[in-house]
Amino acid sequence: MLGRAFIPDEISRSGHVAILGQGLWQSRFAGERNIIGRNITIEGESYAVVGVMPGTFQFPLMGLANLVEPLALTDKERADRDSSSLTAYWAG
């Protein structure tokens, strides 16, 4: 809807970037079009907003999302495949 998706460098490491859902963008940030590039605080850490998802976007099986950030696994998490699981969806 606004801005862009994550770029590969942001996905491969913790880039501290976020994409907002349209509902959160409108309710918390009054639909400000200049939200792209602004920093917001999430659990005490600063994240740059790179995009806003359209209100119709839904994740399969999960529905609407207010905020999305890249999943950046540590080397230990990547190596230890028995300790956790991850569900992924392709949106291409």
Q: How far apart are CA 57 and CA 28, in angstroms?
A: 18
Per-residue confidence band for 75, with pLDDT thresholds at 50, 70 and 90: confident
**Chain center to CA of 76:** 22
* pLDDT reported for residue 69: 86
Q: What's the predicted TM-score (pTM) here?
A: 0.76
Determine the structural domain holding residue 69 and report its residue range: 2-79
Q: How far apart are CA 39 and CA 20, in angstroms?
A: 12
What would the pLDDT profile of 6-37 be if each residue is shown by its tens digit? 888 887 666 689 999 999 999 999 999 999 99
Residue 87 lies in a domain: no
Residue 36 lies in a domain: yes
Domain count for the chain: 1
- Alpha-carbon separation of residue 11 from 6, 15, 16, 70 (angstroms): 7, 7, 10, 5
